[in-house]
Structure 1
């Protein structure tokens, strides 16, 4: 495994044909704040997060995942990582340099093994943020992103070798074998997970709420607004976090969560959980059963952005 140079997840960028409908969802019922907009691109922040934005939306003819962005501690670490990736024959989209997105910064982009665009940024200006109040049911921050891969272990090994991710836990079953790896770049149980899927695509984006009450209030608000609830409310065993999953207007799965486990990395040993046991998928037993229909929603549409860099 490579020495760890990534610090945290910064933002997830989506392209969609019905831009206005998507913007209304994320900037409305989902509870993010639009902080900048320019000719078919908008940037949405979480009020409790120091990140300039946690979601970027772009108007496009085809739905796709534009990129996933991670933080690095310094420009020197960005340069070191770029050199390491070049030496490892990773295909760079851009070389390290100054960026002109909100908050600026220094970074570069490259393709992962499945053809997703990944961005690494340092020196981004901290956004003025605030403490989320009791009963205020809006996202505090971006929690994690889960990606579908047609070759689960190849993708896991690539992220370990090139980006310093560590395995926290695995979901498996007697019939299907390994179906998900939870990966970390800090003591947070996972900032990314890799799911076995029929094609490369976005599985879900997760947003952390202030606490259990705010998580339930937010889930109820989205349900009352008429958006499709895919799965939840419940509590996973791997990561010990709560979950309610919804579909955004373009069929991407988005999650409200809270209380994601923090690990002692020096003593942690990964578990292999049998997800055919109901208490593994939901410790509480309150969520609708995990079945083929729920799983199919999370497969999403095949990503149209594989090995095609976003135009901005």
Structure 2
């Protein structure tokens, strides 16, 4: 297994046909701030985050996940990771070098085992950010990303072997078996989770709110605006975080959350939670019941970007 070279999740990049509608959603009611835009590509920041952007949108003929980006502590760590991936037979899209997106930095891209484009970078300039105030119901930062995989265990093993992710918890069902692995690269319960799905796709992107009041105010704002709610509000058992899931204009699931568990890595032992028990999915009992419709929406469309690097 690799040493712990990844530090945190930086951003998730989406490509969509109806770019203007998607940009209006994320820079409007969802609460992100557009910081740069250039001919069909835009960069959206969270006000409380030092990251230059947490979502990138790109106009494209087909909907796809362009890439998921992670941080490393130094250019030396970026080089070390690239060398280890090459030695492990991982296909690199680019070799380590200067990054041309806002904030610059030093990084490279490669395909994961399911064909997603992953980016790792260091030395990205810190964005001028601020403390999100009480009752201000906008995202503080990007919390985590969940990815659908047709082979849950193969994908978990790949991320453990090549990128140093650690298993935190697992969701299981008496009839379906193991269905989701929560994976971490820090003391945060998960930066990524892998869900068993029929095809490779984005499951959801999650955004951290300031606190429960701001999380509820944000959830209510979207409901009043008629944004389609998928599931919530509630509180998961794995991660102990709150959740309300909505659909963006292109059918990607996005989540408002808060209070995701910070754990002691020295003493942590992974749990297996039976999500046929209602309190596992929602400790509070306030969310609409998990059903086949929610699961189907979370599977998302087949990702058209598998083993195809995004053009930018």
Q: TM-score under structure 1 normalisation? A: 1.00
Partners of 2:111 and 2:156 lie apart in 1 by 15
Structure 1 equivalent of residue 9 of structure 2: 9
CA drift at 1:4: 1.0
Quick check: 1:201 aligned with 2:225? no
Pairing 1:141–2:141 present = yes
Q: Give the superposition deviation at 1:137.
A: 0.2
5 Å-filtered alignment, 1:177-192, equals 177-192=177-192
> What does the per-residue CA deviation read over 1:224-263, in whole Å, with 9 as the maximum and x for residues that have no partner?
1111000000000000000000000000000000000001
Distance 2:140 2:201 in 1: 25
Q: Which residue of 2 is the match for residue 63 of structure 1? A: 63
Shift of the alpha carbon at 1:87?
A: 0.1
What are the residue-to-residue correspondences of 1:12-27 with 2, within 5 Å? 12-27=12-27
| Alpha-carbon distance in structure 2 between the residues aligned to 1:113 and 1:82 | 15
The aligned counterpart of 1:125 is: 125
Task: Give the match for residue 210 of structure 1.
Answer: 210
Measure, in 2, the Cα distance between the counterparts of 1:143 and 1:258. Answer: 9
State the Cα deviation string for residues 153-206 of structure 1 (Å, max 9, x = none): 000000000000000000001100000000000000000000000000000000
Helix, strand or coil for the counterpart of 1:29? coil
CA distance in 1, matches of 2:20, 2:168: 38
SS at match of 1:84: helix
Tell me the equivalent position of 1:294: 294
Counterpart mapping for 1:68-107 below 5 A: 68-107=68-107
Give the drift of 1:2: 1.7
Aligned counterparts of 1:132 and 1:184: Cα–Cα separation in 2: 25
Gaps of 5+ in 2: none
Distance in 1 between residues matched to 2:203 and 2:42, nearest whole Å? 22
Q: Which residue of 1 aligns with 2:245?
A: 245
2:306 corresponds to which residue?
306
Distance 1:188 1:214 in 2: 20
- What is the alpha-carbon distance in structure 2 between the residues aligned to residue 64 and residue 224 of structure 1? 28
Q: Tell me the C-alpha RMSD between the 2 structures.
A: 0.3
Q: Secondary structure at the match of 2:57?
A: strand
- Distance in 1 of aligned mates of 2:95 and 2:152: 28
- Matches of 1:123 and 1:167, distance apart in 2: 27
Q: Stretches of 4+ moved more than 3 A in 1?
A: none
CA distance in 2: counterparts of 1:2 and 1:53, whole angstroms: 27
Aligned length: 312
- For residues 101 and 294 of structure 2, the distance between their equivalents in structure 1, rounded to whole angstroms, comes to 36
Rounded Cα–Cα distance in structure 2 between residues aligned with 1:163 and 1:225: 40
SS at match of 1:198: coil
How far does residue 209 in structure 1 lie from its aligned partner after superposition? 0.1
Counterpart of 1:155 in structure 2 is 155
Provide the TM-score with structure 2 as the length reference: 1.00
* 1:310 shift after superposition: 0.1
Match of 1:42 in 2: 42
Structure 1 match to 2:272: 272
Q: How many angstroms apart in 2 are the aligned matches of 1:173 and 1:276?
A: 6
Partner of 1:238, secondary structure, is coil
- Alpha-carbon distance between aligned partners in 1 of 2:225 and 2:68, rounded to the nearest angstrom: 28
Q: Give distance in 2, aligned partners of 1:107 and 1:222.
A: 36
SS of 1:85 mapped into structure 2: helix
Mapped to 2, the partners of 1:75 and 1:65 lie a distance apart of 26
Q: How many Å apart are 1:18 and its aligned residue?
A: 0.1
